[in-house]
Amino acid sequence: MAAYEKQQPQQQPQPQLNAAYYGPPIPPQPAYYGPPPAAPRRRGPRCFLFMVVALVVIALGTASLVLWLIFRPDTPKAYADSAALSRFDLGAGSGINGGDLLQYNLTVNIRLRNPNRFGIHYDYAEAHASYDDDRFGFHAVQPFYLDSKSDGRITTTFSGSSVMTDDDVRRTYRRERTDGFFYVKVKVYSDLRFKVRVFNVHDKSKITCVLRLPVPAAGDANSTAMTTLGTRCDVDF
């Protein structure tokens, strides 16, 4: 009887392991995606109302700015056409507390030009006169109306005396008297209003005129002869 050998089951070959690995194979790990995102918070009716109001305010502001840039007015022009300086005497140390007393008599004619297609109401205006940056005169101007595309004139009169407290005024006065001309600055501050299409605008304006005035003749304090100037003034509008 021939010898019978039992066939053994064939074993699968083991995978070759890396030299650095000494344990059993690592099973695959499940992917980690983190916690689910939180649900968005619902906005309440107050927050929604606030957003609507904010959007409306921004839209109205933007529309007003655009319309203002389209229809914005041109700056009026101002000229000091003529002036009369009949007295301008500075007495050294003759004022209160040792200040210098300035006695003056000045009249200035200012012409305004409105280049816009709407009229301008000057509801209030006041004029200040200063010498060497030291104010000495004040004049309240009557309210007036400047029609569209037209000229208007205002007359400011400064008369009286004022104490000049700045020590530099005396040196400036002596120098300019020798040169034959005084440099006087006149400013006109005004509150005005006008209408551009459907917009009623209230604004402020300042006119600054630097005048080169001849020294009055001695003994001619009552003279009212006008000096032609034609000086262009600066206008803040």
User: Residue holding tokens 């008297």?
Assistant: 177
Residue 4's pLDDT is 47
pLDDT in tens, 63-93: 777 766 666 788 999 999 999 999 999 987 6
Task: Pick the closest to residue 144 from 196, 190, 94 (CA basis).
Answer: 190
Q: Which domains does the chain have, with CATH numbers?
A: 77-236 (2.60.40)
What DSSP element (H or E) covers 151? strand 150-164
Rounded average pLDDT over 213-231? 79
Give the integer Cα–Cα distance in Å for 237 and 206: 7
Q: What is the pTM of this model?
A: 0.69
Residue 46 has a pLDDT of 72
What does the alpha-carbon distance between residue 129 and residue 77 come to, in Å, rounded to a whole number? 20
Statement: residue 33 has pLDDT above 90: no
Mean pLDDT computed over 100-127 = 95
Residue scoring higher pLDDT (16 or 193): 193
Would the pLDDT of 108 be above 90?
yes
Which 8-state DSSP code applies to residue 25? P
Contact, 216 vs 85, CB < 8 A? yes
Looking at the chain, the whole-number percentage of residues with pLDDT higher than 70 is 73
Confidence of residue 49 (pLDDT cuts 50, 70, 90): confident
Quick: pLDDT tens for 55-67.
Answer: 888 988 887 777 6
